[in-house]
Structure 1
Amino acid sequence: MAYAESLKVGMERWPDKTRFWRRHMGTLWHGAVQQEIISATSRDWAAPRFDSADEAPSSSAEPATVEDSSEKVWASLLQNRFLWCMAAMHFFIYFIRQGVLNWAHFYIMDEFGVPALEATARVSGFELGGLLGCIVSGQVSDWLISRYPKRGAAGLRAQVMIAYSLFAAAAVFCLWVVPPLAVLQWLAMAAFGFAIYGPQTLITMTGVETVPRKAAATAGGLLAYPAQLGSMCAGLPFALLVQEYGWGGFFPSLIILSMVSAVVIIPGWNTPSYRQAHLAA
Structure 2
Amino acid sequence: MSTKEPSGYELDDLDLDPADDENQQSEEYRRRNPEKFATYLKRRMVVFAVAYVGYVCAYLVRNNFKLTSKILRDENGWDNVQIGLILTAFTLTYGFAKFFMGMVVDRLSLRRVFAGALAISAVICILLGFVHVFWLMFALMLLLGTVQGALAPGSMAMIANWYPNKTRGSGIAIWNTSQNLGGATLPIIISGLLGVVGPSNVAYAFWVPGVVVLLFSFVAWKFGGDTPKSEGLGSLTDIYGKAGEPQVEDTPDEPYWTTLRKHIFTSPVILTVAFVNAILYFLRFGILNWMPIFLGDEMGFNEAQYSMAFSILEWIAIPGCFFFAWVAVKLPNKQSIVGAAGLVLLAGLIWLYMGNHDYALLLVISGLMGTFIYGPQLIINILTLNVVPLRTAGVAVGFVGLFGYIVGEMAANLVMPILAEALDWTASFTLLSFFALVGAALYLSLRKREQKIVQA
Q: Distance in 2 between matches of 1:234 and 1:168?
A: 16
The 8 Å contact of residues 160 and 385 in structure 2, kept in 1 or not, is answered as: no
> Alpha-carbon deviation of 1:177?
2.5
> Alpha-carbon deviation of 1:48?
6.7
Structure 1 residues 160-169 or 197-206, which shifts more? Answer: 197-206
Q: Distance in 2 between matches of 1:246 and 1:100?
A: 15
Instruction: Give TM-score scaled by structure 2 length.
Output: 0.46
Structure 1 residues 115-124 or 245-254, which shifts more? Answer: 115-124
Q: Distance in 2 between matches of 1:113 and 1:177?
A: 12
In the other structure, the counterpart of 1:203 is 380
The 8 Å contact of residues 108 and 114 in structure 1, kept in 2 or not, is answered as: yes
Deviations 1:14-59 (A, max 9, x none): xx95999xxxxxxx9xx88x94797168630288725899xxxxxx
Q: Check 1:127–1:258 CA distance in 2 against 1; reply closer, same or farther (3 A cut).
A: same
In the other structure, the counterpart of 2:441 is 263
In the other structure, the counterpart of 1:60 is none
Which one-letter code corresponds to 1:166 in the other structure? V
Instruction: Give TM-score scaled by structure 1 length.
Output: 0.72
The 8 Å contact of residues 264 and 396 in structure 2, kept in 1 or not, is answered as: yes
The 8 Å contact of residues 313 and 369 in structure 2, kept in 1 or not, is answered as: yes
In the other structure, the counterpart of 1:173 is 351
Give the secondary-structure state (helix, strand or coil) at the position aligned to 1:211.
Answer: coil
In the other structure, the counterpart of 2:423 is 245
Deviations 1:175-203 (A, max 9, x none): 1223x222211111111110010122121
Structure 2 residue runs of 5 or longer lacking an equivalent are 1-65, 71-147, 169-234, 242-251
Give the secondary-structure state (helix, strand or coil) at the position aligned to 2:237.
Answer: coil
Which one-letter code corresponds to 1:237 in the other structure? V
Q: Check 1:204–1:212 CA distance in 2 against 1; reply closer, same or farther (3 A cut).
A: same
Q: Check 1:135–1:41 CA distance in 2 against 1; reply closer, same or farther (3 A cut).
A: farther
Match of 1:162 among 340, 355, 371: 340
Give the secondary-structure state (helix, strand or coil) at the position aligned to 2:289.
Answer: helix
Which one-letter code corresponds to 2:306 in the other structure? A
Identity of aligned residues (%): 21
Output aligned runs, 1:1-281, within 5 Å.
Answer: 17=67, 35=155, 39=159, 43-45=163-165, 49-50=237-238, 64=253, 68-145=255-332, 153=333, 156-178=334-356, 180-229=357-406, 230-270=408-448, 271-272=450-451, 274=453, 276=455
Q: Distance in 2 between matches of 1:52 and 1:161?
A: 27
Which one-letter code corresponds to 1:210 in the other structure? V
Which one-letter code corresponds to 1:235 in the other structure? N
Q: Check 1:129–1:228 CA distance in 2 against 1; reply closer, same or farther (3 A cut).
A: same
The 8 Å contact of residues 99 and 234 in structure 1, kept in 2 or not, is answered as: yes
Which one-letter code corresponds to 1:263 in the other structure? A
Deviations 1:126-170 (A, max 9, x none): 10221122211121022023xxxxxxx1xx011110011111111
Give the secondary-structure state (helix, strand or coil) at the position aligned to 2:301.
Answer: coil
Q: Distance in 1 between matches of 2:394 and 2:157?
A: 14
Deviations 1:207-256 (A, max 9, x none): 11111121111211111111112112211111111111112212211110
Aligned length: 231
Structure 1 residues 73-82 or 180-189, which shifts more? Answer: 73-82
The 8 Å contact of residues 211 and 274 in structure 1, kept in 2 or not, is answered as: no
Q: Check 1:40–1:51 CA distance in 2 against 1; reply closer, same or farther (3 A cut).
A: closer
Q: Check 1:247–1:208 CA distance in 2 against 1; reply closer, same or farther (3 A cut).
A: same
The CA RMSD measured in Å over matched residues stands at: 3.2
Give the secondary-structure state (helix, strand or coil) at the position aligned to 1:124.
Answer: helix
Structure 1 residues 115-124 or 226-235, which shifts more? Answer: 115-124
The 8 Å contact of residues 347 and 432 in structure 2, kept in 1 or not, is answered as: yes
Q: Check 1:188–1:19 CA distance in 2 against 1; reply closer, same or farther (3 A cut).
A: farther
Which one-letter code corresponds to 2:443 in the other structure? I
Structure 1 residue runs of 5 or longer lacking an equivalent are 1-15, 21-27, 54-62, 146-152
In the other structure, the counterpart of 2:140 is none
Q: Distance in 2 between matches of 1:275 and 1:256?
A: 30
Q: Distance in 1 between matches of 2:274 and 2:409?
A: 13
The 8 Å contact of residues 48 and 275 in structure 1, kept in 2 or not, is answered as: no
Which one-letter code corresponds to 2:237 in the other structure? R
